[in-house]
């Protein structure tokens, strides 16, 4: 395959041919023309001959598959980059392994003001115990250390980091020798983030976007906010993405607003919405998701950060200002608060305006038939992460530990959402789960609870067009003339049509079906390999030696 990365000002016309083009415009398409950052034509190999002499470049696909580039609808870019370049505990299988990794990292980074790490998950360790403060003090030699749990809603820290927050013991969520949650966690996270230099931050952001591009991801939705990152981090990321050939970044800032002035501040930051991780509750793993009934393994119902009245005020202010709103809501009580709040806002400003705004709910894991119907009625987009089920679902997974098997089986009901007409946008919540678009589609198609499975085609749509629709763009995320030329080129095996229900044809390689095929994503099969990623017609990644 020819190789020629280009600048953003380069508007050459490019013909891709002799491959498979995944497009609804023509199930038999083997060629595509890109001009001035948009798809100009898709069609057959014979018709491509007519374009060959009039283009600036011809790319011989050599049988490769071309698809729309993926959109990851929920990412924390700097944290993702820091996990790629720093201390990553997601692979630690025991407490002792995690402590050994902390020691190695502390030894390798003698000049860091604060040691940063992510990804521990005591629920998967023998004994189920997180590291104690004394163990962390010993492993770091008494240096400040912040280690976020895999869900990023709690953290364990060293004594030296606690000393940087004088009033920490008075904050909600503080424990003398255990994971910190709620306000205590937010305070130590802020203290740790102040130690990250601008140079470290930019290095991490570049690493994250470079990694995203290598996976065929053309856009990421950055879910930032005052409890997660800083304004400098957010605006710096948006500036970096605009100045360098990288995946595009769509920014959300998770801060409540009360009026048009607040909405204007959100816009001044460069955000498209006041949402993303505007927390209504926390996470199941940290026992902070807000439930109607107590946890199976804890005598409480989690944490509520916003009630229905606060949700209503925020949605009303956003809608009146023409701004998209959004919320982080995982537990069933949190989702109920969102639904009740948005419905109250609809009674004030009108249902049509609420639906037109396409407000979002991030995660939306614990749903009921009633809240699913409400999502459809109110035009809410469900921004969901199928890898959560792959990691924590099943009869003995973390969900079952926290909720009991019966409640756990109700989580992440993707099929029911689609049947109700709720728009889905897929993402990773990276670094909570890795950037992995084909793995995400596989997780949705082979959900641990069979009745929640969706077809590969539906999952693929949620991870391509879904992210664009979630920002109000219905003209993108698919390779048809006029659409933005955001695409990825893949080395893969035979293309098939996969459905989740044995009552319909699960496999079809017959082109007469008229349904564009996709790679076989059955568990155990090799996932496609990205050869090239293009954003607005500009190459942002080419696999080495391709």
125-150: pLDDT as tens digits:
999 999 999 999 999 999 999 999 98
What pLDDT, on a 0 to 100 scale, did the predictor assign at position 546? Answer: 64
Q: Is residue 104 a part of any domain in this protein?
A: yes
Pick from 168, 195, 222: which residue ends a domain? 195
What pLDDT, on a 0 to 100 scale, did the predictor assign at position 10? Answer: 56
Strands 65-68 and 20-21: parallel
484 and 466 share a domain?
no
Q: Is residue 1 a part of any domain in this protein?
A: no
User: In the chain, how many domains are there?
Assistant: 3
Q: Is 449 helix (H, G, I), strand (E, B) or coil?
A: coil
Distance CA 56, CA 33 (A): 11
- Say what the pTM is: 0.90
Please name the residue that has the structure tokens 């969706």.
Answer: 454
DSSP string over 121-147: -GGGSTT--PPPHHHHHHHHTS--EEE
What pLDDT, on a 0 to 100 scale, did the predictor assign at position 5? Answer: 40
Listed as ranges, residues in the chain with pLDDT below 50 are 2-9, 502-513
433 and 487 share a domain?
no
Domain that holds residue 57: 13-68+480-492+528-542
292 and 318 share a domain?
yes
DSSP state of 366: S
What pLDDT, on a 0 to 100 scale, did the predictor assign at position 2? Answer: 44
Contact 262, 317 (CB under 8 A): yes
33 and 154 share a domain?
no
Q: Is residue 298 a part of any domain in this protein?
A: yes
392 and 289 share a domain?
yes
184 and 331 share a domain?
no
Q: What is the pLDDT of residues 54-80, one digit of tens each?
A: 899 999 999 999 999 999 999 999 999
Q: Helices marked H in 331-368 — which ranges?
A: 332-349, 351-357
DSSP string over 252-291: EE-----SHHHHHHHHHTT-SEE-SS-BSS--TTTT-S--
What pLDDT, on a 0 to 100 scale, did the predictor assign at position 499? Answer: 66
Q: Which of 192, 125, 195 is nearest to 157 (CA)?
A: 192
CA–CA distances in Å: residue 140 to residues 103, 105, 106, 122, 150:
6, 9, 6, 19, 20
Contact 389, 448 (CB under 8 A): yes
Contact 337, 306 (CB under 8 A): yes
CA–CA distances in Å: residue 474 to residues 66, 180, 217, 378:
20, 42, 18, 18
Burial 441-470 (b: 16+ CB within 10 A, else e): bbbbbbbbbeebbbbbbbbbbbbbbbbbbb
């Amino acid at each position: 395959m020819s190789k020629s990365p280009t600048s953003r000002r380069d508007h050459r016309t490019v013909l891709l041919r002799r491959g498979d083009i995944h497009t609804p415009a023509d199930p038999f398409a083997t060629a595509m023309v890109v001009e001035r950052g948009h798809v100009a034509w898709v069609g057959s190999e014979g018709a491509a001959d007519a374009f060959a002499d009039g283009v600036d470049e011809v790319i011989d696909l050599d049988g490769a598959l071309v698809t729309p580039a993926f959109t990851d609808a929920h990412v924390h870019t700097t944290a993702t980059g820091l996990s790629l370049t720093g201390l990553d505990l997601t692979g630690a299988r025991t407490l002792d392994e995690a402590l050994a990794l902390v020691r190695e990292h502390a030894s390798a980074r003698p000049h860091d003001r604060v040691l940063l790490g992510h990804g521990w998950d005591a629920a998967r360790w023998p004994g189920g115990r997180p590291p104690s403060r004394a163990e962390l003090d010993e492993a770091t030699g008494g240096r400040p250390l912040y280690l976020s749990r895999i869900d990023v809603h709690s953290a364990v820290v060293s004594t030296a980091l606690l000393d940087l927050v004088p009033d920490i013991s008075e904050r909600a969520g503080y424990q003398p020798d255990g994971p910190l949650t709620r306000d205590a966690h937010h305070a130590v996270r802020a203290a740790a983030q102040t130690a990250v230099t601008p140079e470290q931050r930019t290095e991490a952001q570049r690493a994250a976007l470079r990694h995203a591009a290598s996976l065929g991801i053309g856009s990421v939705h950055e879910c930032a906010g005052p409890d997660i990152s800083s304004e400098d981090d957010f605006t710096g990321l948006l500036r970096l993405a605009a100045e360098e050939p990288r995946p595009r970044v769509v920014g959300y800032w998770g801060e409540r607003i009360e009026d048009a002035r607040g909405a204007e501040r959100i816009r001044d930051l460069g955000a498209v919405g006041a949402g993303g991780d505007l927390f209504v509750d926390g996470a199941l793993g940290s026992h902070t998701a807000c439930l109607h009934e107590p946890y199976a393994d804890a005598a409480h119902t989690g944490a509520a950060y916003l009630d229905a009245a606060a949700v209503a005020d925020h949605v009303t202010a956003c809608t009146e200002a023409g701004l998209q709103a959004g919320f982080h809501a995982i537990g069933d009580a949190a989702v109920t608060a969102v639904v009740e709040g948005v419905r109250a806002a609809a009674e004030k400003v009108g249902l049509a305006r609420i639906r037109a705004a396409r407000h979002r709910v991030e995660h939306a894991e614990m749903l009921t038939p009633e809240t699913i119907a409400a999502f459809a009625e109110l035009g809410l987009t469900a921004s969901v992460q199928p890898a959560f089920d792959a990691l924590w679902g099943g009869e003995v997974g973390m969900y079952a530990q926290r909720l009991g098997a019966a409640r756990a089986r109700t989580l992440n009901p993707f099929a029911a959402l689609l049947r109700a007409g709720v728009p889905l946008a897929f993402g990773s919540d990276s670094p909570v789960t890795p950037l992995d678009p084909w793995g995400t589609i596989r997780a949705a198609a082979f959900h641990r609870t069979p009745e929640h499975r969706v077809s590969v085609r539906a999952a693929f749509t949620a991870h391509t067009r879904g992210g664009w629709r979630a920002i109000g763009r219905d003209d993108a995320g698919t390779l048809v003339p006029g659409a933005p030329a955001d695409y990825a080129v893949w080395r893969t095996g035979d293309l098939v049509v996969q459905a989740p229900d044995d009552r319909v044809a699960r496999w079809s390689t017959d082109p007469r079906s008229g349904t564009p095929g996709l790679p076989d994503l059955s568990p155990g099969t090799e996932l496609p390999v990205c050869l090239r990623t293009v954003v607005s017609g500009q190459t942002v990644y080419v696999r080495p030696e391709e």
